[in-house]
Amino acid sequence: MEQYSEQLNGIFQALADPTRRAVLARLGRGPASISELARPSGMALPSFMKHIRSLEGSDLIRTRKEGRVRTCVLEKKTFAVVESWLSTQRAIWEGRTDRLEQFVLTAQEKEKK
Amino acid sequence: MIPSPNPGLDLTISRVIRAPRQAVWNAWTDRASFEQWWVPAPAKCRVMEMDLRPGGSFETRISENGGDFAPHLSACFLAVDDLERIVFTNALVGGWRPAEQPFMTAIITLRDHPVGTEYGAHVMHRSNADRNMHEEMGFFDGWGTVIEQLATLAERRA
C-alpha cells in the first residue's frame, strides 16, 4: 500500500504541470517524437526533456529510441491506477494532510519569530 | 472500538507532524485556519458551520477560479474528543438528520509522537456504486479536470 501511495504521489506531481498535461493530451492521439512534442511548448530541448523524464519516471509514458529519433507513447496501465475512485480519494486526503502539515509548521515558525 | 480497514473501500493516511498536538488540533478546529488548508490553492474554502460536538453541523463551501462559493462538504460530527479525535460523516447533516447522498465517514486521530504528533485519517466509503459522487468531490478538489482528461485519453487509446 505504501508503495502504491508513493506511485500515486509521483503521478499527481507529474500531472500538476500544464506542459506535461499538454504532452499527455497530444500522446492521447498517438505516439509522437520528442521534437514534435517540444514544438508547441516553445521550450529549449534541455528544459523540455525534464518534463519528459518526469512523465517517464512516474510511468505515465514510455519512450523508445529508433535511430536518432526518440518516440513517446502513453502508458495505459498507469492511467488505470489514476482512474480508480479510491485513488482519487487518497490523493485528495494526502493533499489535505500535506497542506495541514505545511500550515502547522508555518504557523510555528511565525510564533518563534 | 476501532473498525478494521476494508482495503477496497477505506483509505488510511498516517503522518508524523513535527508540532505539538495542540497546534495540529487548532489548525483543524479553528475555522480561519481550517479554511487555509482544506482545499488546494487557487480554490478557496469557506467554513459555513463547524459545530464541534456530536450531532453538530459541519458545512464547507468552495470557490474555484474566483467564482461563487458552491456547496462542498455537508456533514455531521459524530465524536469530538479534545486533542484526540474528530469523527464526521456525510451520511448525516447537523442534528443527526439523514443526508441525501451519503458516502463516507472520516476518523481523524491525533497521538503524541516523540518528535511531535502522529496524525491519522481513516476514511471509510460506502461502496463502489457511489463512484460518481466521489468523482464529483474529486472535481471540487481540483483533480476532476485532470482525471476527466485522463479518462478521455485512456478511452481514446483503448
- ipTM value: 0.79
Domain extent listing, chain A: 2-83
Q: Which residues contact B125 (CB under 8 A, 6 or more apart)?
A: A86, A89, B9, B10, B103, B104, B134
Q: Domain A2-83, what architecture? A: Orthogonal Bundle (1.10)
* Average pLDDT score over residue span A14-37: 84
CB contact under 8 A, A85 and B135: yes
- Which residues on chain B are in Cβ contact (under 8 Å) with A23? none
pTM of structure: 0.64
* Mean pLDDT (10-residue bins), chain B, 158 residues: 69 89 94 90 90 97 85 94 97 95 90 94 74 46 46 44
Phi-psi region of B85 (alpha: psi -120 to 50; beta: other; left: phi over 0): beta
Helix (H) or strand (E) holding A56: helix A45-57
Neighbours of B91 (CB within 10 A): 17
Domain extent listing, chain B: 10-129
**pLDDT tens-digit series, residues A60-105:** 899 999 899 999 998 877 776 666 667 778 888 888 999 999 999 9
Select from B15, B36, B143 the Cβ nearest to the Cβ of A88. B143
Classify domain B10-129 by CATH number.
Answer: 3.30.530.20
Measured distance CA(B155)–CA(A28) in Å, rounded = 9
The DSSP code sequence of B128-140 is GGGHHHHHHHHHH
B19-28 residues labelled b (16+ CB within 10 A) or e (exposed)? bbbebbbbbb
